[in-house]
Chain A
Amino acid sequence: ILNVEQSPQSLHVQEGDSTNFTCSFPSSNFYALHWYRWETAKSPEALFVMTLNGDEKKKGRISATLNTKEGYSYLYIKGSQPEDSATYLCAFIKGNAGNMLTFGGGTRLMVKP
């Protein structure tokens, strides 16, 4: 059983705050890490796909970093807005497992106006 953990489980911030959360995964046999954003009553939406140690990806105010040697990825949101409220899921792919995602439990972010 793969251990993919996310922290914190939930987070309340004020509009304009910057925030970050963590995804931890097994450092051995790493293949790829995906980040998804899931708004309530909508479909999960891909944010980033990361494969190389030291990778940094950015999309608007959201960015992510990857450390495969120590087995973690950070997701950062700069200047949070109410529309950023969602559950952020990371998903790990091990070894040569094609595209088989093992999801973490998610971080639920709530941004208050």
Chain B
Amino acid sequence: DTEVTQTPKHLVMGMTNKKSLKCEQHMGHRAMYWYKQKAKKPPELMFVYSYEKLSINESVPSRFSPECPNSSLLNLHLHALQPEDSALYLCASSQDIGRMDEQFFGPGTRLTVL
């Protein structure tokens, strides 16, 4: 199984809602990532988890809260988001966090904040 799955595919939420994005991989990868992609822009790294521990947080606002409950699962909890947070959220995983480790991406969750 060389797939990274993400649920839901689409999510519409109000600014007062709390929701979560889910990402799963069963490739035995020990690094997992969240990226944000705004329209017509490249993906931007948000968080990196290595061996289930948060290793990088790219100055992401606290309304985004990542969680790695086990080595196969990565969640992104969303609370009090703003309309400008509307974007495609991509999850990825890699064997480890070395420079040669290609990242396997999920198809993304399209988030709209009203």
The residues of A with any CB-CB pair to B shorter than 8 Å are 4, 31-32, 34, 36, 41-46, 49, 51, 89, 93, 98-106
Contacts and interface: CB of A to CB of B under 8 A. Distances in A.
Given A89-B42, A103-B43, A46 B102 contact: yes
B105 interface: yes
Nearest to B55: A98
A67 B104 CA distance: 25
Contacts of B4: 43
Interface of B: 4, 31, 41-45, 48, 55-56, 90, 94, 96-108
A48 to B, nearest CB: 9
Contacts of B56: 98, 100
A100 B107 contact: no
Contact of B107 (A43, A99, A106): A43
B42 A106 contact: yes
B102 A49 contact: yes
Contacts of B101: 49, 99
A99 B90 contact: no
Contact of B103 (A31, A99, A102, A104): A99
Given A89-B42, A99-B48, A43 B106 contact: yes
Nearest to A44: B105
B45 A44 contact: no
Contacts of B42: 4, 89, 103-106
B73 to A, nearest CB: 18
B102 A34 contact: yes
Contacts of A41: 107
B45 A32 contact: no
A41 B110 CA distance: 11
A105 B41 contact: yes
Contacts of A103: 42-44
Contact of B99 (A42, A51, A106): A51
